[in-house]
Amino acid sequence: MSNYHIKHLEEYYQVYRKSVRNPDLFWEEVAEEHFLWRKKWDKVLSWDFKKPEIKWFEGAKLNITENCIDRHLTTRANKTAILFEPNNPNEPALHITYKELHERVCKFANVLKSKGIGKGDRVCIYLPMIPELAVSVLACARIGAIHSVVFAGFSATALSTRINDCDAKMVITSDGSYRGDKSIDLKCIVDDALKSCPGVHSVLVVNRTSSEIQMKDGRDFWLQPLLDKADAHCEIEIMDAEDPLFILYTSGSTGMPKGMMHTTAGYMVYTAYTFKNVFQYKENDVYWCTADIGWITGHSYIVYGPLANGATSVMFEGVPSYPDFGRFWEIVEKHKVNQFYTAPTAIRALAKQGVGFVEKHDLSSLKVLGTVGEPINEEAWHWYNDNVGKKKSPIVDTWWQTETGGIMITPIPFATPTKPTYATLPFIGIQPALLDEQGNEITGNQVDGRLCIKFPWPSIARTIWGNHQRYKDTYFSAFENMYFTGDGALRDEVGYYRITGRVDDVIIVSGHNLGTAPIEDAVNEHPAVAESAIVGFPHDVKGFALYGYVTLKETGESRDQDNLRKEINQVITEHIGPIAKLDKIQFTSGLPKTRSGKIMRRILRKIACKETDNLGDTSTLLNPEVVQEIMDNAL
């Protein structure tokens, strides 16, 4: 029996039991057999969910890029590591071999060093999906700098908040980015952001669009001339197992985005191990995850997990609708993709266009299909299964989070029988629990509750950068001795899990986590707005969309409401980014509040979802009359 590569359901259960009975021994074997260590660990695991403090492979020394690149050079030097497919289908794809990746990463790492970046420094990466994004991530890891990638759809304000929170010294960006038939001036956004980031000393700029941009003397540098001069050899920095690898921001229900900090060894072991099993990757397969590296899915399953396995990982710059809605399938056919991993929102958007675009292409290379980021509805699941997978490629519905670093609940293809809308069984080593609101564990099957995890796994985030108390409060305080996910789930009669959605004020729109409070803060910045409350409502493509209830400062004012709606969305775009725009904005004379002044979101949510039959008790409200007004004018 191989611990590393699970092929049958029986094997899954056996390995699972082993991983739970003796986690230390289990993870030690995986780590020992499949990775390169400069020094082995003194202790596999020490943990305390009360503090909380979690350490894996303490005392070990390694570098993750040696595992992701260097060690493949003897057997896979000429194998494609990264297969770059540009936005424009007429621009040739780029096959970057492991040997070339090694050279690119070393040169980039030397450029970082020449600009004064070293171990422990934070580097903010704000790039489109071009090879330099993966290369710069790896270059940071090679020299022990901590990367913090910010999705290039975020606004200048959102970018500067993240840069300042982690005190980044450097920003890596490009002149512009291509997305479908649009191009975006990224460097201008960075210039704007940096007006309020005194800690940034240097900016490296990739030439992607050759657009007109301004370069600030002494601060901004074109990357290419620096790379041309750089040495193609760069020794790895030897890192401790628990040295930080990266910070990645995710929205919380309130306040600032949370800088989730991941460390080196555990993250590497877990992402590599999950990648191998969840996608059943075989040596010459071509694997494609359509996520952006600006999100955790791209970190773990475009860069680190695949490369640690010596895989070929496709990186796509564009969007699914350009030049037409057949682009994904054209790419699958062109590169003979074997594993395809995407988000339910993309599946729903493509399903809406009919099967014509799918049928035009030969998808016979596909073996495994995956989804991630939000619950997949039954209709989308069947469309994907029937038309893309032709009922022969299992769908892995993978549940996990930025905080978990790697996939947590998922089928193992060809082993676990799938069930539409179910993420099915916990992955090896993962011990889920369902809890009721009082904190009691709900045992047995056919139950639902709040999804928690009882025991640490190697890639759990170790803290929120600069705010350990918030880490403790958010994840370890709701239930004693448990990691609380913020999601609800149910367990069926055979023990399969189905994720039912967030139980807090995070709304997942097109697979992006959005906290309502920061968006409300942005809306309230509009000079005409007095107060606002944002809730989610079901949307046939996005999963959920945002519904804002807004009260104005001068209620009698007869402003053009449509104009005001546009302005409010513009403010959101500036503060957060276009992904947080409101689909519906209802102006109202007041918001329903409890006597202590808290907005009753439950009621607003029901109205937005058109579930007004049972609004529950509204008599305790401070202003019950406003509920009728809101219902009468609901959009």
| CA–CA dist 376, 342 (Å, integer) | 11
Is the CB of 132 or the CB of 487 nearer to ligand WTA?
Answer: 487
Residue located via tokens 């001795």: 481
CA distance 170 to 159: 13
Q: Residue 399 or 549: which CB sits closer to ligand WTA?
A: 399
Assign 497 to helix, strand or coil. strand
Please identify, using beta-carbon distances, which residue of 250 and 569 lies nearer to ligand WTA: 250
Q: Are strands 497-502 and 543-552 parallel, antiparallel or unpaired?
A: unpaired
For residues 357 and 270, the answer to whether their CB atoms sit within 8 Å is no
Report the nearest approach of ligand WTA to the CB of residue 415 (Å). Answer: 18
Shortest distance, position 343 Cβ to ligand WTA, whole Å: 9
CB of 190 to ligand WTA, least distance (A): 23
Smaller CB separation from ligand WTA, 288 or 295: 295
Choice between 274 and 402, CB closer to ligand WTA? 402
CA-nearest of 128, 123, 72, 66 to 96 is: 72
State which residue, 72 or 502, has the beta carbon closest to ligand WTA.
502
Name the residue nearer to ligand WTA (CB basis): 421 or 618: 421
AA letter at 332: V
CB of 543: closest distance to ligand WTA in angstroms? 9
Peptide bond into 52 cis (omega under 30): yes
Which residues lie near ligand WTA (CB under 6 A)? Answer: 250, 295-297, 372-375, 397-402, 423, 485-487, 499, 502, 508, 513
Question: Is residue 218 packed enough to be buried (19+ CB in 10 Å), middle (13-18) or exposed (0-12)?
Answer: exposed
Phi, psi of 318 (to 5 degrees): -95, -155
* Cα gap 393→427, rounded to integer Å: 20
Residue bearing tokens 């690898």: 245
Q: How far is the CB of 417 from ligand WTA (least distance, A)?
A: 17
Contacts of 551 (CB under 8 A, 6+ apart): 529, 530, 531, 532, 587, 588, 589, 590, 591
* 3-state SS, residue 522: helix
Nearest to 290 by CA among 362, 360, 349: 349
| Cα dihedral value 135, 141, 145, 148, nearest 10 | 60
Least distance (Å) between residue 295 CB and ligand WTA: 6
Look at residues 443, 395, 408, 439 and name the one whose alpha carbon lies nearest to residue 300: 408
Per DSSP, the three-state class of 417 is coil
Task: Outline where 476-598 has alpha helix (H).
Answer: 516-524, 561-575
The tokens describing 466, both together, are: 């600069």
Instruction: Tokens 């796509």: give the residue.
Output: 316
Residue nearer to ligand WTA on the CB measure, 373 or 389 = 373
In the complex, least distance from residue 376 CB atom to ligand WTA, rounded to whole angstroms: 7
446: alpha, beta or left, given left = phi > 0 and alpha = psi -120 to 50? left
Q: Supply the minimum distance, in Å, between the C-beta of residue 2 and ligand WTA.
A: 26
Contact 551, 532 (CB under 8 A): yes
The two three-digit tokens of residue 545, written as one number:
């969309």
Under DSSP, the state recorded for 320 is T
- Rounded to the nearest whole angstrom, what is the least distance from the CB of residue 294 to ligand WTA in the complex? 10
Q: Which is nearer to ligand WTA, 62 or 376 (CB)?
A: 376
Nearer to ligand WTA, 200 or 396 (CB): 396
Q: Which amino acid appears at position 218 of this protein?
A: G
Residue 400 or 455 with smaller CB distance to ligand WTA: 400
- Token duo for residue 438: 């009082």
Residue number, 108 or 483, with CB nearest to ligand WTA: 483
Q: Which is nearer to ligand WTA, 499 or 552 (CB)?
A: 499
25 CA to centre of own chain? 30
Q: Of 6 and 372, which CB lies nearer to ligand WTA in the complex structure?
A: 372
The dihedrals phi and psi of 224, each to the nearest 5 degrees, come to -55, -50
DSSP SS3 for 225: helix
Provide the greatest CA pair distance for the chain. Answer: 75
What is the smallest separation between the CB atom of 440 and ligand WTA, expressed in angstroms? 22
